[in-house]
Amino acid sequence: MSKRREIALCIGAGPAADELVSRWGEEGRQIASRVHVMPSDERARAALAALDEVREVWVAAGEGLGAINLAAAVKADHPGRKVYLVDCEETGSVRSRMHAAALDGTRSLSELTAVVRAQMARGDAAAPGADSADGLPSGAEEPPSVPPLSATQETVPEAAAQALLAERSTEASTGLARAGFLLTVVSGSGGAGKSTVSTLAAHLAARRGLRTALLDADLQFGDLRDLAGSCLRVPLEEVAADGSALAAADDAPLTLIEAPRRLETAEVLGAALPAVVDELLARFDFVAVNTGAGWDEQRLALLERSVSTLFLVDQRASSVRACRHALDLCLRCGVATSSFLLAVNRCTRHAPFTSIDVSSALHGAHVVELADGGREVEELLGAGMVEALVESRNPLCTSIDRLLDEILPGAGGMASCGGEPLSPGRRGLRGTPRRESGRRRGRREEKERRRSRKEARAASGVLS
């Protein structure tokens, strides 16, 4: 009787399982002796339905294998099992599809081998039904020995294998998701409203009950510390040095990762940004990232990791041209733009540009509109009163809330601006709620503006 095998390796349609294992060499044979290897989509799904012992399913990527489709189908059949992609390149489109399918992350073949080797070293003595010291029932045949890895092949240290097992145990006990929703706010040039939009998006996501992180990735001139209002704050330097610095954020609805105060540290922290983003995605449901005006390798890597990228354009012709140049750069660098959502900011009835104008300039791309929030946006944000701004049902807040409805999976009807969802019949042309007409509307709006300005002046006096 063979030992308990809790991992299934799915290879999908295409090459036979023994061919792919043979191509992997000694590592493949070692894995095959300790996991269930399933060579086709339908056979894998049927076999997994009958294997109660399997707790994790690792789906190998390859040419023509349709790995993500198979992984999504397996996850849908068995939501309680962990489903990973093996040796899969994490592009923006892949991460988007993984998030939509609720997959648990990616792994490498070396990690799979490390886990198997660690399990073999520990033995299966604790497995149910094990009667002997080696984990086999009495009288059972000893399974064939697995040949050691060749000295010329890459091996994973035992400590690394134990760390992987500990990580899997922690995820199982805490229910920690490894694929939080990453929204990156960018623009082709400065002044388009990235700081404002990312801050409001984070607060609105937190009001929906999502554990939210707001990352200020404008490493030289980030100022979200002055805009984010009342929330937990953790310096980016501390997170980059030790991910456990986020332990205090476990019970916080919104956490701000502050940009460095010293400009000379920006280059060093830029190199650590991917690791920081991974740490945030493992801990939070929703991560909003504010970016600077410059474009570099770190920016492109961030876009590839994003489930959705909000590309802002303001009411200047130079902003539209800069957007076009930035999109061309993404195409030349092979960055998938399918996750991009273009938005023209500060839209009013008499604004120079509408979404149709910007769409025409960008060769027919889909563009949405964000309404102009007026003076109270600058006044309340400048005073650190973002909560009051969200409560005021400002047109900009309402537009961003509608935007979250569009990009967040299963978010329909969850609009949080002002505390109640709005039905489609109450929406205006730009997705903002229709206002009542006549003198009553004018008196009400003027009263709200006066109250907001008074609160902002009072807060400014306290801060000074």
- Give the tens place of pLDDT for each residue, 37-79: 775 556 777 788 888 878 888 887 654 446 777 787 888 888 8
Cα(103)–Cα(84) distance, integer angstroms: 6
Sign of CA dihedral 278, 186, 299, 358: positive
Q: How many helices and strands, by DSSP H and E, does the chain display? A: 17, 13
Cα(266)–Cα(217) distance, integer angstroms: 9
Q: What is the pLDDT of residue 121?
A: 67
* pLDDT-based confidence at residue 93 (cuts at 50, 70, 90): low
pLDDT mean over 286-298: 92
Q: What is the pLDDT of residue 19?
A: 54
Q: What is the pLDDT of residue 59?
A: 82
DSSP lists the bridge partners of residue 368 as: 343
Cα(200)–Cα(155) distance, integer angstroms: 47
Decide if 257 contacts 283 (C-beta within 8 A).
Answer: no
Cα(391)–Cα(395) distance, integer angstroms: 11
Q: What is the pLDDT of residue 223?
A: 92
DSSP lists the bridge partners of residue 185 as: 290, 310
State pLDDT tens for residues 178-192. 468 999 999 999 999
Q: Which range, 125-129, 330-334, 358-362, is most confident?
A: 358-362
Which letter does DSSP use for residue 436 in this model? P
Q: What is the pLDDT of residue 84?
A: 85
Cα(427)–Cα(217) distance, integer angstroms: 33
* 431: pLDDT strictly greater than 80: no
pLDDT mean over 423-432: 36
Question: Which tokens belong to 276?
Answer: 């920081």
Q: Which range, 79-93, 210-224, 325-339, is most confident?
A: 210-224
Cα(304)–Cα(93) distance, integer angstroms: 8
